Amino acid sequence: MKYIPVIGLEVHVELKTESKMFCGCSADYFGKEPNTHTCPVCLGLPGALPVANKTAIEWCIKIGLALDCKISLLSKFDRKNYFYPDLPKGYQISQYDKPFCEKGSISIRSGNNTKTIGITRVHQEEDTGKLIHDIVNEKNVSLIDFNRSGVPLVEIVTDPDFESAGEVINYLKKLQQIVRYLDVSNADMEKGDMRLEPNISLKLSGDQELPRYKVEVKNINSFRFVEKAINYELKRQEELLEIGETPKQETRGWNEKKQITQSQRSKEEANDYRYFPEPDLPPFRFEQSYINELKNGLPELPEQKLYRFQSEFKLTLYDAEILTREIELADYFEKTVKTGKAKNLNPKQIANEIINKKVNIDEISPEVLAGQIQAKFQFTKVDKKELEEAIKKVLRENEKAVKDYRSGKIQVIGFLIGLVRKETAQPIDTLIIKNLLQKELSKQ
C-alpha cells in the first residue's frame, strides 16, 4: 500500500440532563416549538450570567473515567470566540487547555486483532442553536431555533490512530454503547444526540511523521454516512497526491444526495478562536476522594459484562456479545436466568431462546419466558427399555436411512429422531434419543 490513512475523530455527545449547561431551561428540546426553551442566558442577552450544571460535569467526568482518562483536579471553562448565526453570544463556553479529562484509551476489534485507540481529551461545552434553511414568501431564508442552544455537550477527541473506516465504525459503536450503559445520553444519531467529525489525511507508507494537512468532515449523524465520507475522502486525497498536489487543510461537509464531500471553509487553528478563560465562571478544584467516589459509582461497563457473561454463564463470545449490546437486553437476560434457576433451566437454554427467537423483551416478561422455555424442555420420564424397542423398530423399517448414516450422511440422524418421537408419541429429550440411536447405529 503506497499511502496509509491517518484518521482522528471528534465525537459530540449531548447529555440528557433535565436542564441546560449554564441555565435552568429544559434540555428536552427535541420536537418542541422553536424558541420555547430559552431564557436570557441561552439567548446571550446582555448582563445574563451562566451557572454551571453540576450533573453535566459529573457525567462528563464519568465518560472520561469509562474511557480510562486521567481526571484533572484543576479545570476551567474558556470562551471559544467565533461568529456564526446559531451562536447568540458570539462565543461558545467550552474548554481549551485544562479539560476535565485527558489521556485515555479504548480497545476495539480490528480484523482478528485488538487495537488500542488513544483518547486525547474529553471536555465539556454547550451546544449551539439549530439553523433551518427554508423558503418563506418565495425567498430562501435561514431560520434559527435556539431551543438547543446551551444544552450540555461532551466532546470526545481521539488520537489519529485509525487506519480505516471500518476501525472508526467499530470505535463509534463501542463509544455509543458505553455512554448508553452510563445512562448519560440516549446517543440517538437521528435526533442529533451523537454527531461525528472525522479528521482525515494520508501519509506515504513508511513515513513516521504525521501529514502536514488534515481535512475535517463536519456534523455527520450516522455510521453509514461517516463510513462513506471517509472512503470518499481517502480516494479524493489519493488522487490529488498522485498528481503532486497536497490536499487543502479545510473543513468539508458530507452531501448524501451527491455522495461526495464538499468544501465549506478553510480549517481554523486554535489561535483563530482567541481562547481565553471564561471570566463569569470560576475554575474548578476537585478532591481525589470526589473523583474516586464517581469512579466507584460507575456501572458495570460493556466489556466487563461481556467477559462476566462468558465466565459466569458459560456463554460463547458470540452469544455474550449479542446479549450485552444493549443494557436493557443484558438486564432482561439476567432476570430470566434468575427466574429460570428455580425451573432447572440453564443460561445457555435461555440465551438460545432470546437470540434465536428474537424475543420482544417489551412484550414478554422474564417470568413468562422462563415458563415457556420450561414447557419446551419438560420431558416425560424415559422407560429406557421401551425407548430402545422403539428405536430398533424404526431402524428395522428404515434400512436406507441406516445405510446412509453408516456411509457418512450423519445428518440423517435428525430424520430418525423424528420417527422415534412419532413412534413413542411422548415428549422425550432429543439428546437421550440421539445418544441411544447413535449407540444402536454403531453396532455392526
CATH at residue 425: 1.10.10.410
Distance CA 16, CA 411 (A): 53
Residue that is last in its domain, among 266, 291, 316:
291
**pTM for this entry:** 0.84
Does residue 230 sit in the same domain as residue 320?
Answer: no
Contacts of 149 (CB under 8 A, 6+ apart): 38, 42, 43, 86, 87, 88, 126, 127, 128, 129
Q: Are residues 164 and 224 in the same domain?
A: yes
Residue type, 193: D
Digitized pLDDT (tens) for each residue of the chain, 444 residues in all: 799 999 999 999 999 999 999 999 999 999 999 999 999 999 999 999 999 999 999 999 999 999 999 999 999 999 999 888 999 999 999 999 999 999 999 999 877 889 999 999 999 999 999 999 899 999 999 999 999 999 999 999 999 999 999 999 999 999 999 999 999 999 999 999 999 999 999 999 988 899 999 999 998 999 999 999 999 999 999 999 999 999 999 999 999 999 999 999 887 776 788 999 999 999 999 999 999 999 999 999 999 999 999 999 999 999 999 999 999 999 999 999 999 999 889 999 999 999 999 999 999 999 999 999 888 776 666 778 888 888 999 999 998 998 888 888 888 888 999 898 888 877 777 778 888 888 888 875
Instruction: Give residue for cell 476489534.
Output: 109
Is 328 in the same domain as 418? no
For residues 74 and 401, give the distance between their C-alpha atoms in angstroms, rounded to a whole number: 77
Rounded Cα distance between 122 and 72, Å, is 11
Indicate the residue among 291, 309, 329 that finishes a domain. Answer: 291
Q: What are phi and psi of 116, to 5 degrees?
A: -95, 125
How many C-beta neighbours within 10 Å does residue 126 have?
A: 24
Measured at the CA of 158, the angle between CA 15 and CA 203, to 5 degrees, comes to: 145
H or E stretch covering 56? helix 54-66
Residues 175 and 232 in one domain: yes
Q: CA–CA separation, 210 vs 220, rounded Å?
A: 24
Angle at 184 between CA 186 and CA 273, to 5 degrees: 95
Number of domains composing the chain: 3
The answer on 343 and 224 residing in a single domain is no
Beta bridge pairs of residue 218: 253
Name the residue range of residue 430's domain: 384-441
The answer to whether residues 309 and 246 belong to one domain is no
Q: Are residues 243 and 347 in the same domain?
A: no
Half-sphere exposure of residue 347, counting CA atoms within 13 Å on the CB side? 18
Domain end position, chosen among 324, 359, 376: 376
Query: How far apart (Å, rounded) are the C-alpha atoms in residues 198 and 215?
Result: 8
- For residue 290, the surrounding DSSP H or E stretch is helix 288-296
Q: 395 and 440 in contact (C-beta within 8 Å)?
A: yes
Clarify whether residues 220 and 161 are in a common domain.
yes
Decide if 38 contacts 89 (C-beta within 8 A): no
